[in-house]
Amino acid sequence: MKFRAAKGTRDFYPDAMRLRTWLTDAWRRVSLRNGFEEYDGPIFEHLELYTTKSGDEIASQLFDLEDRGGRRLAIRPEMTPTLGRMVNARAQSLPRPIKWFSVPRLCRAERPQKGRLREFFQWNIDIVGVDDVLADAESILVAVDFLREVGLGPEDAVVRINSRRLVAAVLADLRVPPDRMDKAYALLDKAGKIPRDALQAMWKEAFGDAVPFDAIEPLLGVEGLDHLHEAIRGAKGGWAAAERELPAIEALFEKLDSFGITEYCNFDMAIVRGLAYYTGVVYEVFDRGQAHRAIGGGGRYDNLLRDLGGPAMPGVGFGVGDVVITDVLTEAGKLPVLKGELDVYVIAADAELQPRALELVAQLRRGGWSTDFSYRAQSVGKLLRAASDRGARRAVIVGQETRDENLVTIKDLTTGQQTRRDWAAFVAAPLAAGDEGDEQARRSL
């Protein structure tokens, strides 16, 4: 029987693994330089942790199981519930603000499609314990810092920003009942993702004629603060609740301006995010042409820790998955071409010298240098090509000069320069250029 990887998963052969490592290293660099600390949690949690946060319907999107004790568990589909549980466990002792990041492997029992798989990696950034809009602005700054890190400029990517409080105010002005707000958010989150007629039909089914779709549809196309002001202050019948929320979104954009990232940012009334726990600023990152689904997204969740049984503590954060950002970078031609990284490749010029070559391999590895060699005896020319294919920076040949003078021949595979050096000097600094003591050896080549 021939086995294949499970649907919606990927095999990471070394070339793909190098790209994955490059991406996760970029996430870690950006996180650390912005003052965040790394954490992690278990690959599965109690199912109730997710249903408490996102509602019972989330269970259909999870890989869940029952353990031998009859407990309902689920493989983690996201990291925020684990973050909340961990913070709650030590809420009184953790210093504030809590600035954490993680790069977990996640799973969702969904139909695989473009930009979405069942198993993926996700970068998570969270700031807990700060209710100031400055925390919202900093989380967006970190997202933009990552875009810059991987070579995506403001002409390539945009952060589309909205406020759930503003949307709630608009819905209140439209007389949407408080207990129907979550339904309205979930429908508005579909704007731009499904045909207008389908969205209109779903809205009518949910709200009938009490809240006509035509009343809110014009707002879904509002982009930019100037247009927002015009839409809110120029609306017929008045939008008193919505107008009271304008200063908060203006304050956010003032902070973004101070951070120097407004060229990446745009207000967009259609960004709502369907998850019920968001309470304030929400945002999603897209490629400018929106040829792909969102690269990432997040927002403020001031009630989540309390809802998970902990103290009332504000939070804000976002996630970026590896699937879409890899697609975007590939299409933009901005993924690096990565070779294997090897410091030294050791070559025995003949079979009799293999013991000396293996001795050199062991000494270099003990010194902390990544070193490899061939199991097969082949010509020096073929082994030099093998060293180049492996991405080695230096090839070192153990040959007749090693027998006679304890010298080794080093070839720099970047420049092509070839020198001879004393064995001990090479072991001490295998990537160094030849020193003055090697000059006679170079002339003898």
d(CA 217, CA 219): 5
CATH of 342-444, one of 3.40.720.10, 3.30.2130.10, 3.40.50.800, 1.10.3720.10: 3.40.50.800
Q: What angle do CA 221, 162, 332 make, to 5 degrees?
A: 80
Specify the residue for token string 């950002």: 325
What is the per-residue pLDDT for 60? 80
For 157-192, the pLDDT digits (tens) are 999 999 999 988 888 888 888 888 888 888 888 887
For 62-88, the pLDDT digits (tens) are 999 999 999 999 999 999 999 999 999
Reference 235, options 154, 141, 169; nearest CA is 169
d(CA 21, CA 398): 33
d(CA 164, CA 248): 11
Neighbours of 110 (CB within 10 A): 14
Residues paired with residue 101 on neighbouring β-strands, in sequence order: 38, 125
Query: Could you give the dihedral angle defined by the CA atoms of residues 31, 8, 58 and 294, in that order, rounded to the nearest 10 degrees?
Result: 50
Whole-angstrom CA distances from 329 to 144, 148, 262, 293 are 15, 12, 22, 13
What are the pLDDT tens digits along the chain (445 aa)? Answer: 899 999 999 999 999 999 999 999 999 999 999 999 999 999 999 999 988 866 666 778 899 999 999 999 999 999 999 999 999 999 999 999 999 999 999 999 989 988 899 999 999 999 999 999 999 999 999 999 999 999 999 999 999 999 999 988 888 888 888 888 888 888 888 887 788 889 889 988 888 888 888 888 877 778 888 888 777 766 555 678 888 888 999 999 999 999 999 999 999 988 988 777 889 999 999 999 989 999 999 999 999 899 999 999 999 999 999 999 999 999 999 999 888 889 999 999 999 999 999 999 999 999 999 999 999 999 999 999 999 999 999 999 999 999 999 999 999 999 999 999 999 999 999 998 754 444 444 433 3
CA 197 to chain centroid = 34
d(CA 61, CA 255): 37
Q: Whole-model pTM?
A: 0.89
Residues near 220 by Cβ (< 8 Å), separated by ≥ 6?
188, 191, 192, 269, 270
User: Is the bond leading into 97 cis (omega within 30 degrees of zero)?
Assistant: yes
d(CA 271, CA 274): 9
Residues near 39 by Cβ (< 8 Å), separated by ≥ 6?
83, 86, 100, 101, 102
What is the per-residue pLDDT for 56? 66
φ/ψ bin of 8: left (φ > 0), alpha (ψ from -120 to 50), beta (otherwise): left
Residues paired with residue 116 on neighbouring β-strands, in sequence order: 113
223 DSSP assignment: B
Give the start-to-end residue ranges of the domains of the chain: 14-331, 342-444
Reference 287, options 225, 228, 218, 333; nearest CA is 333
Q: Alpha helices of 56-176 — where are they, by DSSP H?
A: 80-89, 133-149, 164-173
Q: Can you give the three-state secondary structure of 350-406, one letter per residue?
A: CHHHHHHHHHHHHHHHHCCCCEEECCCCCCHHHHHHHHHHCCEEEEEEECHHHHHHC
Residues paired with residue 299 on neighbouring β-strands, in sequence order: 282, 317
What is 14-331's CATH topology? BirA Bifunctional Protein; domain 2 (3.30.930)
d(CA 327, CA 291): 10
What is the per-residue pLDDT for 159? 98
Q: Do 136 and 281 form a contact (C-beta atoms < 8 A)? A: yes
d(CA 130, CA 302): 9
d(CA 84, CA 76): 13
Reference 216, options 184, 248, 244, 182; nearest CA is 184
What is the per-residue pLDDT for 237? 55
What is the per-residue pLDDT for 240? 81
